[in-house]
Structure 1
Amino acid sequence: MELLVIGIDAVSPNLVFENLDDYPNIRDLVSDGVSGEYNGYVYGYGSHDNWISMYTGVSPHTHKVIKGRYSVTEEYPMPKHYEKFSPLWKILNENGYKVGFWKGLATTPPVEIDGYMVSGEPLLEKVNELPDYASILPVVCSKDKFIKDDFFGDLTNFPSPKTPERFGETWGSIEENPEKLEELLIDGYFKEGLEYHKKTLEQAYINIERVYKKKEVDVFWFYNSVFDYVGHFQTHDKDGTLMRECIKHVDIFIGKMKNLMKPKNIIFLSDHGQKAIVDFFPNCSIDTRKRAFGLSDNCIFSKNHIVMKGRNPGLLTGLHSLKATAIFKGENIKKNESLAEMRTLDIYPTILDILGIEIPKEKEGYILPIVKNGNEKNISYKFPNEIKKRIVLLLQTCEVSVFNSFINEYSIKNRFNEIHVMILPEYKEVFKINKQVKKVLLLGEEINKNNYDEILIAYNDNQNKEKKILPIKMKDE
């Protein structure tokens, strides 16, 4: 078995790498492989966007799935929307690899492949509304019907986080007295989610084992979204106790999968992280947080928490964060290399190079410098040996949430540039924790313009819905 990929949505690197003693199987991957954090697509992007970029090696603006919708038709994303970009299962099949794809996001309806594809979108709140798309049970092609016929377990009774009414409150009563959140948001607020997460992984393994023993494959890709679901309602827990328990069950699952498949190479991935909404605005007053957060009108603010009214009526306290988790280990993977400049787009070409497959033209990422013996024809995708960073200064000319979106888009399109920002003093702490920003300056500070290759402003025309980043100074001017 050549490659096992285990994808768990929204696992934050700090929860993994700061607690490795709790996860013996993950610790083994880290100690004998290469690992780190990388930039996912967030701040205007969703999980579907990220995973499809992994499948295809092109950005959301190329495959056109943005915020979980195929932007051309506003449909939920399906394989037909991005099949022209040679998704992994297609190119692996073309090169003689049998593939198992298990519950991958945006793979419904499933594609008939050499191997099998088990689909069914984990949109828990949409199961009744979209019965042909959102399914906790397996959705398979007719040739793979044996998987569904022999499927073990029932996960349809998924839990919901506690609503204000469960505590004898209403949204109105909490808005009148926000400090009630201190009593409601206990560490085990959504402990039912932990139990469901554990159950999904246990049942997934039982079913994967049954299928794999009947039909072995060369490459197996597994995905699970429940960690993300739980995290949205549990990241207020400062110690991360319940979310660390979730990762312990992921660790057990990884151990079982390694023993079952004995892969030559293994990759563990998340697509982004998660953190408490309030932690995006550290050391700020409530008034500053309200001004800085673009969704503040839909939130309740207390001293230690920000709660959003989400699609689910529970107390949503967490949002996606930039940094995702990546771990690589195997026969064709080097040890102790850096993933410091890794991006989502690098996953596709790196997987193909690990397997010795020529990378198709017009992919947008690089092969990470972790592959021992790749394909000589992939030279144009090799990660640059030397990176000359251009230093740019972005001036804040709009509200914080909009300016952050400008920073994000600029960083995506200029991945090797070093970004400095000059911002209003009251938002200093907000931008200091933005990991796309190298240095924070305050408006009014003197600067040496010659230190910058470009000085830029964010132009935001709400009336005409026009956004641009405009240069006001080039280095040679």
Structure 2
Amino acid sequence: MANGTVLAVGIDGACWSLVDNWIDEGELPNLREIRDNGTWGELESCVPPVTCPAWKCYSTSQNPGELGVFWWESLDIASKESFTPSSRSFSHPELWDILNDAGVTTGVVGMPLTYPPKEVDGFMISGGPGAPDHDFTYPEDVEDELKSKFDYTPRPTFPADSEGDNEEEFAEKSIEQVDLDFKVAKHLYEKYDVDFLQVCSFEINAPLQHQFYDGEPTKKAWKIIDNHLGDLADEFEYVVIHSDHGTSEMDQQFFINSWLAQEGYLTRDRSFFERLADYGITRDRLLGVLDTLRLREPLSNVQTLRNLGRRIPDSRGLFGEREGSAIFDKVLWGETDAVGLAQGPLYLNTDKLNEQEYETTRNKLVEEIESIVDEKRDAPPIQQVFKKEEVYHGEYMDKAPDLVALDAPEYHNKGGIGKKELFRKSDWRGNNARQGLHVISGPGVDSARVDAEIYDVAPTILSLFDLDPPSNLDGTPVLD
């Protein structure tokens, strides 16, 4: 391959099953042209297929067992603490580090898990969902420029009721962010003239595909992305389009901690914060007060307050996706064998179980969880349960969840510590799925269908620059 320039467009939650009809109807002509003239296929994500750590699995070509991060939150059963990662949680060299070492300049815009931004030979603009509205750029002075020219921040600010009464405003703000990420990327590319440009769209999936799946707001955002593809693609010799995971249509929630409690694996207690909820002091009400006082955004990155917020249930008794803090408040550990997090990670209580009991319990959980059936729908909420050694390897295996329960397409596992029911109709229409997409187009790239893994994308980009991927990567170039 020639040593040229490369555009990489990362689209959170993108998959062919979501966009194929729009491509066939002529709604996404630039994506169609790039696909028709390149190598393309499905892109299998990590387990569970979640933004964190999937984007870092892409940029490092390392599986979570090497990274030491397995989901948005990790539980340390021994210390009874939960851990939420940031960009500093990852020590492995990323794609842009390897490119910079080889003299290739790089620009990165909007990729999740890049806050705080790192120093690169080029520029880096942190992406959602963890980036606040300050200190999100490298070089530092770019932030004032982006705020002045584009009124840009890494994520839009939503009103407290934007997912309910103001759903239209919620959608429009998200669509504006999709558009802004690409406008900022194009502006900085023209200013810095980097050899490699990575632009990511997180808002396309969270919230749009989650909330609307293939509805009109999602379609509108995809058409904006397609227009930007048309503008940017001609500026580069090679174009790579990829996702971190896919999306499936769904309409049900499953609370695995409710099931664990029902089956005797978990014993829970009512925490102090749940008792506050009895008096109307709920998380959504407190957030509404902060919105009224215009304090929600300024306080959003104060870790102590974020941890406190995760301990307080909302008006429905839920603790949100990241409920590890609530788990440690609510679980009676002397009577509990296992706890679960949303979207799949399951931890066994090794303080209580000896080695033989651990393996017996783990095997039993695999069999029983894979046998759960939603009797009202005659459907399983979990499609497969993996032991950690089946999907992970590396130096951080001791920190890995003992099991990972992969959602069935129609069901979203919410964890649900403190809930009594097992199933409930979902607020979301789109669920994370393991099969995403990729496309590689440019000189010498054959028009062919080739399925790949998320770990293969970074080595492929290195090969486009005539660079040999380091031998310790988990992936291999798709085009070899």
Percent of aligned pairs with the same amino acid: 20
Gaps of 5+ in 1: 124-132, 167-188, 309-314, 371-381, 383-477
Q: CA deviation at 1:205?
A: 3.4
Q: Taking structure 1 as reference, are residues 149 and 11 closer, same or farther at Cα in structure 2, changes over 3 Å only?
A: same
**Residues 99-158 of structure 1, C-alpha deviation per residue, up to 9 Å, x if partnerless?**
001121111111111111111x412xxxxxxxxx532567123x4413433431256433
Contact 1:55 1:88 in 2 (8 A): yes
Q: Secondary structure at the match of 2:187?
A: helix
Q: CA deviation at 1:269?
A: 1.1
Bigger RCO (CA 8 Å, 6+ sep): 2
TM-score, normalization by structure 2: 0.59
Instruction: List aligned pairs for 1:183-202, cutoff 5 A.
Output: 190-202=167-179
Question: Does 1:58 pair with 2:62?
Answer: yes
Question: Does 1:87 pair with 2:94?
Answer: yes
Letter in 1 for 2:438: A
Q: 2: distance between equivalents of 1:196 and 1:163?
A: 12
Q: Of 376, 397, 418, which residue of structure 2 is paired with 1:286?
A: 376
Task: Name 2:450's counterpart in structure 1.
Answer: 339
**Residues 159-211 of structure 1, C-alpha deviation per residue, up to 9 Å, x if partnerless?**
667667x4xxxxxxxxxxxxxxxxxxxxxx94444422331133233333332
Q: CA deviation at 1:58?
A: 0.8
Instruction: List aligned pairs for 1:171-210, cutoff 5 A.
Output: 190-210=167-187
Task: Name 1:139's counterpart in structure 2.
Answer: 136
Q: Taking structure 1 as reference, are residues 13 and 75 closer, same or farther at Cα in structure 2, changes over 3 Å only?
A: same
**Residues 55-93 of structure 1, C-alpha deviation per residue, up to 9 Å, x if partnerless?**
11110111111112477885433333323x221111100
Q: Secondary structure at the match of 2:137?
A: coil
- Residue-pair matches, total: 317
Task: Name 2:117's counterpart in structure 1.
Answer: 110
Task: Name 1:153's counterpart in structure 2.
Answer: 151
Q: Of 27, 32, 46, which residue of structure 1 is paired with 2:37?
A: 32
Task: Name 1:364's counterpart in structure 2.
Answer: 474
Contact 2:181 2:200 in 1 (8 A): no
Instruction: List aligned pairs for 1:29-428, cutoff 5 A.
Output: 29-42=34-47, 44-69=48-73, 74-83=82-91, 85-119=92-126, 121-123=127-129, 134-136=131-133, 139-141=136-138, 143-151=139-147, 152-154=150-152, 156-158=156-158, 166=165, 190-229=167-206, 230-235=208-213, 240-259=215-234, 262-278=235-251, 286=376, 288-289=378-379, 307-308=425-426, 315-336=427-448, 338-340=449-451, 342-368=452-478, 370=479
Q: CA deviation at 1:17?
A: 2.6
Q: CA deviation at 1:23?
A: 0.5
Letter in 2 for 1:101: V
Q: CA deviation at 1:54?
A: 0.7
Contact 1:64 1:70 in 2 (8 A): no
Letter in 2 for 1:224: S
Letter in 1 for 2:13: A
Q: Secondary structure at the match of 1:103?
A: strand
Q: 2: distance between equivalents of 1:225 and 1:75?
A: 22
Q: CA deviation at 1:11?
A: 1.5
**Residues 416-441 of structure 1, C-alpha deviation per residue, up to 9 Å, x if partnerless?**
xxxxxxxxxxxxxxxxxxxxxxxxxx
Letter in 1 for 2:192: K
Q: Taking structure 1 as reference, are residues 113 and 201 closer, same or farther at Cα in structure 2, changes over 3 Å only?
A: same
Gaps of 5+ in 2: 255-372, 383-410
Q: 2: distance between equivalents of 1:291 and 1:114?
A: 46
Q: 2: distance between equivalents of 1:70 and 1:291?
A: 22
Letter in 2 for 1:157: T
How much is the aligned-residue C-alpha RMSD, in angstroms? 3.2
Contact 1:68 1:76 in 2 (8 A): yes
Letter in 2 for 1:234: F
Q: Secondary structure at the match of 2:131?
A: coil
